[in-house]
Amino acid sequence: MSGAALARPALKTTAARKSRLTDPAVGVWLATAATAVLGWLVVALDGGQLYTQANIVVILSNCVALGLVAVGQTAVILTGSLDLSVAYLIGLGTLVAAETMEGGSVLTAVLAVLALSAGVGLANGLIVTQLKVNAFIATLGTAFILRGYIEDNYTGPAGKVTASFQRLGYDRIGPLPVSVFLLVAVAVVLWLVIRHTRLGHHMYATGGDEHAARLSGVRTRRTVVIAHVLCSLCVGAAALFLASRLGSGAPWAGTEARYDLDSIAAVVLGGTVLAGGRGGVAGTLGGVLLLAILDSVFNQLSVDPFFKNVVRGVVIIAAVALYARRGSRRSA
């Protein structure tokens, strides 16, 4: 570590240029572009057409739910924490949205879901910081609690989403689904928070080295709690989108798609370090898009769905192995 630190000033300009190129966020977008081109080639050779209007819409709307969750997850992981409760929170969120809409207005439903999410995020953050339970166990515990509540009260879809709200899931502006704008808006807000506010800098500091951050005057606990609340709010947005897409509350909307582990995979694929302190929202979006394009290519080739999982696993491991190799030259 000290050797690299000493060598750094001398190589400053080239190193800066190099580090921009080897920045995982850039890398993942390059990889996504390569996948997009390769996928198009492969599908074309197979006699299909990957980028039809309809298919682009499918790819993009597939991005939205995972993207929202992964963007939130980025904030937590950057801060050195983790959230495994997102899948069940999505399920509960769709139920709350659909049931509130059945008896009330869309606005109250949205507010109810966001309040629920903020509450769960606050609970996660407080358990992690005040009870000092490892984030892995804390959020797993919250996940179990939510799951128990869902299983006890619901056996299947419940509630009904009003037609006006379903437009969020199905309307399009030109070729772009409306929901993509929701994802972009949330991502931009989080990007601004993470990159350009004091809170964001505190998040990087806390994730990088919590002890050092605290000694430097960062209120690390508060930062972790806020990160958890932000993450859960994003999950709430994902739940609202899924509710509008599915038309009713779906208890297993989050767990069937494995949003908990998939979102973490997407975040790490996007170059955010699992231990915290390095990474960002831009890379995560690249990771999500990469996974969605891969999915779509396999669908077009009608590859066995189980085989998709195998490829997914290989891609995720390979990508992170590549990042690790690059990182080693600079800082190991």
Partner 1 sequence: MSTGAAHEAAADTRTATATAAPRRRITALLGPGTPVYVLLVVLLAALALSDPSFYEPDRFLAFVKRAAPLVILAAGQYLVIVSGEFDLSVGAIVTAGVVVAAELYGSYPDAHWLVMTLVLLLAGAAVGLANGLITTGLRVPSFITTLGMMLILEGAVFYWTGGSPHGSMPEDFRALGRGSAFGWLPWAVLACLAAGVLAVALMRSDFGRTLIATGDSERTAALAGVRVHRVRVLAFVLSGVAAALAAVLVGGFSGVSAQAGRGYEFEAITAVVLGGVVLGGGRGSVVAAMAGAFSLQALFTLLNLRGVSGAMESTVQGVIVIAAVGLGAADWSRPRRRRTHSTRGKPS
Binding site for partner 1 (CB under 8 A): 80-82, 127-128, 131-138, 140-153, 210-211, 214, 261, 264-265, 268, 273-276, 304, 306-314, 316-317, 320-321, 324-325, 328
**How far, in Å, are 76, 83, 116, 233, 286 from residue 275 at the CA level?**
10, 13, 28, 22, 20
Cα(173)–Cα(184) distance, rounded to whole angstroms?
A: 14
Query: Taking the complex as a whole, how short is the minimal distance between the CB of residue 34 and partner 1, in angstroms?
Result: 20
Cβ-based nearer residue to partner 1, 161 or 292: 292
Whole-number minimum distance, CB 165 to partner 1, in Å?
A: 28
Nearer to partner 1 by C-beta: 11 or 318?
A: 318
C-beta of 252: minimal distance to partner 1 in Å?
Answer: 13
Q: How many angstroms separate the CA atoms of 211 and 225, rounded? A: 16
Neighbours of 43 (CB within 10 A): 20
Give the nearest distance from C-beta 193 to partner 1 in angstroms. 22
Nearer to partner 1, 195 or 325 (CB): 325
Cβ proximity to partner 1: between 137 and 185 the closer is: 137
CB of 123 to partner 1, least distance (A): 10
Q: How far, in Å, CA of 313 to CA of 325, rounded?
A: 19
Q: Which is nearer to partner 1, 143 or 289 (CB)?
A: 143
**Angle (deg, nearest 10), helices 86-103 and 220-246:** 50
Place of tokens 């630190």: 5
Of 213 and 240, nearer to partner 1 (C-beta) is: 213
d(CA 224, CA 77): 10
Q: How many CB atoms lie within 10 A of CB 5?
A: 9
Q: Contact, 26 vs 20, CB < 8 A? A: yes
Q: How far is the CB of 303 from partner 1 (least distance, A)?
A: 9
Smallest separation (angstroms) from partner 1 to the CB of 7 = 20
Residue 202 Cβ vs partner 1, minimum distance, rounded to whole Å:
16
* Closer residue to partner 1 (CB): 142 or 300: 142
SS (H, E, C) 201-268: HHHHHHHHCHHHHHHCCCCHHHHHHHHHHHHHHHHHHHHHHHHHHHCCECCCHHHHCCHHHHHHHHHH
Rank residues 216 and 309 by Cβ distance to partner 1 and give the closer one: 309
Using CA atoms, how far apart are residues 164 and 99, in angstroms rounded to an integer?
A: 15
Q: Any idea what the Cα angle at residue 181 is, between residues 178 and 186, rounded to 5°?
A: 135
Distance CA 280, CA 231 (A): 14
